[in-house]
Chain A
Amino acid sequence: MLNKKVIFTFSPQNVERPVTYQLIKDYGLWVNILQAKFEPSLGGKLVLELKGEDEQIKEGLNFVRQIGVGIELLEQEVIWDEEKCIDCGACVSICPTGVLFLDKVTYKLKFDYEKCIVCGNCVEACPLQAIKVTF
């Protein structure tokens, strides 16, 4: 399960397309409208939070791109507070991509930021509240 925030930019040509409806119905996505501003003659802007499987989100965004709507991904970031962390490893086994792991020599927590998909599992698993997701 992925969680992505996106900004869709509509032109006067595609402003009337029911994009939100189609993302839900055709691509099975969970959609939360965070912000919407439309001016039919000028176009509009829609800020959405999308939840779904990797493939569903990819296909949904492809569809949006094909109808000419601009897409900007709001990058989320997982922040790991190393000072607060006690290296207990509670986050390790629930991390689907294995980017949080205990070093085989020092047994200290390592975090491979690059490959993180920001699923947020570690945030709820951390007993020290040392991991947060920000935008």
Chain B
Amino acid sequence: MTIQRTYEEINKRIKKGEAVIVTAEEIIPIVEEKGIEKATEEIDVVTTGTFGPMCSSGVIINFGHSDPPIRMQRVWLNDVEAYAGLAAVDVYLGATQLSESEGMEYGGAHVIEDLISGKEIKLKALSQGTDCYPRREIETYITKESINQAILFNPRNSYQNYNVAVNTSNKKIYTYMGILLPDIGNANYCTSGQLSPLLNDPQFKTIGIGTRTFLGGAQGYIVWEGTQFYPQVIKDENEKTIYKGGTLAVIGDLKGMSTDYIRAATFKGYGVTLVVGIGIPIPILNSEIMKNVAVKDEDIWTEIIDYSFPHLKKPSLGRVNYKQLREGNITIRGKDVPTSPLSSYAKAQEIAQKLKEEILRGKFLLQEPIQKFSKENEFKPLLEIR
């Protein structure tokens, strides 16, 4: 008999303490031993995790009003400018914005990390002054306790699958994929593979708008498809399936997050970014979903791309799977090339485990998406019209 479960049934079992939950890594030997059908019968939820640099991140802040009040038109937090083209004391601080005094040493992501860890942040704001908001300047200090809201809102996180970056030129290059040594001296990749949320539900059968997630140590939600959302299913000549292009827009209360699961990072010569921990539970509604979460690193393929090519469409140097990447060396054009993950697999494991424990303790219930993602997306380039 084929098993069918609903979100309600799973949540009921979680509340009763009866739910069986494993991580996307632990499920692999279970399915190998028992088969898809038996595993589907026994397991209710599989948890995933990822902890990688995600540039399209930021925080919405409401500072509260000063007396006399100010309609903030330009705002700096620890000398990092936040976008203030909103209401009087609302800003959006982007993770990649650089400090005006320290440059790449400090940026929006560092302000976010400092806020989470409870540090005082220097706020400076300027205004033209209005009749209703007479003040023209303010300098003060804020903490996460002193402000009304600090809402992490990341327009594009949790990339489904990403390229392996290499450099075929004869000089070292500094990229968002890290330092790439000349003559294919190294290869950097950035996905947690078999633990990655969107590779465990590649067709978005359970992940959609409204899905509750682990986000930076707190509970967050998927609010929309991520920007540049363009899921593709590519069948290559050897019948290997490559899923890529899915992304998520996520939101959550920054005040409840922990620097164990959200960190600032600087890629030398490129800039500042935010490393975000995301974990998504996948409800085992049927055997098809179980088949997806049983995916192994050796079955997940990605493309090796030459980042020394300065144009949008960069040449491919072939395909490789995550098992090969994780072993630490791959072969490109006959050369043995060392690999770097950039996305922390150890942290991804920790996040999947933590999410599993929270569900087991009844602290985290599964939320059925209120709307699935559209499948009609396009990936448009920016045209230059003169």
Contacts and interface: CB of A to CB of B under 8 A. Distances in A.
A93 B187 CA distance: 7
B267 A127 contact: yes
Contact of A129 (B266, B337, B340, B349): B266
B53 interface: yes
B306 to A, nearest CB: 16
Nearest to B174: A124
A121 B346 CA distance: 23
Interface in B290-345: 328, 337-345
B179 A125 contact: yes
B349 A90 contact: no
Contact of B341 (A88, A125, A129): A88
A65 interface: no
A129 to B, nearest CB: 7
Interface residues on B, range: 20 to 34
A49 interface: no
Interface of A: 86-94, 98, 101-102, 106-108, 121, 124-125, 127-129
Contacts of B266: 127, 129
Nearest to B329: A93
B340 A86 contact: no
A90 to B, nearest CB: 5
Interface of B: 51-53, 178-179, 181, 185-188, 263, 265-268, 273, 275, 328, 337-347, 349
Contact of B186 (A94, A102, A129): A94
B344 A93 contact: no
A98, A125, A127 — which one has the most chain B CB atoms within 10 A of its CB?
A: A127
Nearest to B186: A93
A87 B347 contact: yes
A110 to B, nearest CB: 11
Contact of B328 (A92, A94, A121, A128): A92
Contact of A127 (B53, B328, B347): B53
A122 to B, nearest CB: 10
A128 B342 CA distance: 11
Given A86-B347, A92-B338, A107-B349, A101 B178 contact: no
10 contacts: A88-B52, A88-B340, A88-B341, A90-B342, A92-B341, A93-B340, A94-B340, A107-B344, A108-B346, A125-B340
A91 B263 contact: no
B268 A124 contact: yes
A72 to B, nearest CB: 32
Contact of A90 (B185, B188, B337): B188
B159 to A, nearest CB: 15
Contacts of B179: 90, 94, 121, 124-125
A128 B263 CA distance: 8
A86 B268 contact: no
B345 A92 contact: no
Nearest to B275: A86
B298 to A, nearest CB: 15
Contacts of B339: 92-93
Given A101-B328, A125-B268, A88 B338 contact: no
Contacts of A108: 346
Nearest to B266: A127
B1 to A, nearest CB: 38
Contacts of A98: 338
